[in-house]
Structure 1
Amino acid sequence: MPRPSRAHERRAELVAAARRAVVERGMLDLRLRDVAERARMSPGSLLYYFPSLDDLLREVQREAVDRFCAAREDAVRREPDPRRRLLAMARSGLPTGPGDELCVLLYELGTVSRRDPAYAAGHIRLFERQAGIYAAILEAGAATGVFRLDRDAATIARNLVALEDGYGLHIVNAVPAVDTATALGLLLAYASDATHCDLTSPDLAASGSTNAELENMEDDL
């Protein structure tokens, strides 16, 4: 009887090794050998499963985008109140700190998007998917009278994602300019103004999923 193929398992192991390598070394200094060493195989063996390092890293990006967005979708799905959904969404998008592996991974992969259209397409998909979640929450809140929007939901949603990205980069820097709690307060201040709804009230403060909780959910996937 022929031995069952381990190709799928080996590819998954290589994606995990590449993910660690990107977080540890960064995209600009990354070499094929760095990933091969973490996977405990030769560079030639790695190329048996992926035609090139770029092919492997694009798979890393695809998986990271899906994991991050799916976790955010799950965080807001459990909240029936639009206010709490918006708060949960804001909380789930910010890094917990410089050691937030998934956020650091996405930021590192994003550094290449300025020069590589394939990476740019993945980064656009990440941006639009998150903006879509925000827009759906805003539209639901406006439809029920909980929110009053001065601008269309898509514009506010894109601004919220852009704010997350900007503050997130400052959080994961070697010397953070802001911490997660401060960034969340600034993000909610804009969201409160944009929706004419106070999202900083104490009765909402205990709700929502933090990014740390999302990381635990991802570990279970």
Structure 2
Amino acid sequence: MARPSKAPERRAELVAAARRTVVERGVLNLRLRDVADSAGMSPGSLLYYYPSLSDLLEEVQREAVDRFCVAREEAVAAERDPRARLRAMIGSGLPNGKNDELCVLLYELGTIARRDPAYAARHIALYERQVRSYTGILEAGAATGIFELTDDPVTIARNLVTLEDGYGLHLTQAVPPIERASAEAMVLSYARVSTSCSLEETV
């Protein structure tokens, strides 16, 4: 009987190694050898599983986008009240600091989107997936009379995601100019104004 292929396991190991390397070194001037060294293999062996460094990083980006979005969606799904759902969505979207592995990874890979259409498409998909999540929360809150939206829900949702991205970039800098709690408070402030709701905890 033929042995089961170890290719899926090796690819997963390479994705993990690439993820570590991007977070540690950044995307700028990243070399295939850097990832191969982290994985404990030769560059030639790495190319057996991925034809190029770009192909490997595309897989890293796909995996990171899915992990990030699923975590946010699960945080929201645990809540019933639209106010709690909106707070959970905001709380799950900001980095915990400059060492937040997943957010740093997404920001690093996002820089490639400036020149590579494939990366740009996935970066846009990440943005739109978050906008849809916010839009659903806002529409549900408006339908139940809890929110009185000051603009259409998609516009508010896009602004919320953009605020998160902007503050998130600050939070992942070597010397963050603001604290996470302050960033979250500022996003919540916009959410309160745009929903005409205090977003206070409900009993």
Q: TM-score, normalised by structure 1?
A: 0.90
Distance, in Å, in 2 between the alignment partners of 1:159 and 1:11 is 37
**Alignment partner, residue 10 of structure 1:** 10
Deviation of 1:150 after TM superposition, in Å, equals 1.5
Aligned partner of 2:150 in structure 1 is: 150
The percent of aligned pairs where both chains have the same amino acid is 69
Q: What SS does structure 1 have at the residue aligned with 2:114?
A: coil
1:53-83 deviations in whole A, cap 9, x for unaligned? 0000000000000000001000001100000
Moved >2 Å (runs of 4+): none
With CA pairs under 8 Å and 6+ residues apart, which has the higher RCO, 1 or 2?
A: 1
Q: Which residue of 2 aligns with 1:41?
A: 41
Alignment of 1:57-206 (within 5 A): 57-199=57-199, 201=200, 203=201
- How far apart are residue 3 of structure 1 and its match? 1.8
Whole-angstrom CA distance in 2 between matches of 1:64 and 1:39: 18
Equivalent residue, structure 1, for 2:19? 19
Secondary structure of the residue aligned to 2:95 is: coil
**Structure 1 residues 181-215: Cα deviation after superposition (integer angstroms, max 9, x where no partner):** 0000000000000000012x3x36xxxxxxxxxxx
**How far 1:2 moved relative to its partner?**
2.1
Deviation, 1:179, is 1.0
Distance 1:121 1:25 in 2: 24
1:167 Cα offset (Å): 0.2
Please list the CA deviations of residues 105-154 of structure 1 after superposition, one character each: whole Å capped at 9, or x if unmatched. Answer: 00000011111111101100110000110000000000000000121111
* 1:113 match: secondary structure: helix
Query: For residue 117 of structure 2, what is the amino acid of its counterpart?
Result: P
Residue 4 of structure 1: CA displacement?
A: 1.3
Q: Determine the C-alpha separation between the residues in 2 that align with 1:177 and 1:145.
A: 38
User: Could you tell me which residue of structure 2 aligns to residue 208 of structure 1?
Assistant: none
Q: TM-score, normalised by structure 2?
A: 0.98
Tell me how far apart the structure 2 counterparts of residues 158 and 178 of structure 1 sit (CA, whole Å).
22
Number of residue pairs matched? 202
**Matched residue SS, 1:111:** helix
* RMSD of aligned Cα (Å): 0.8
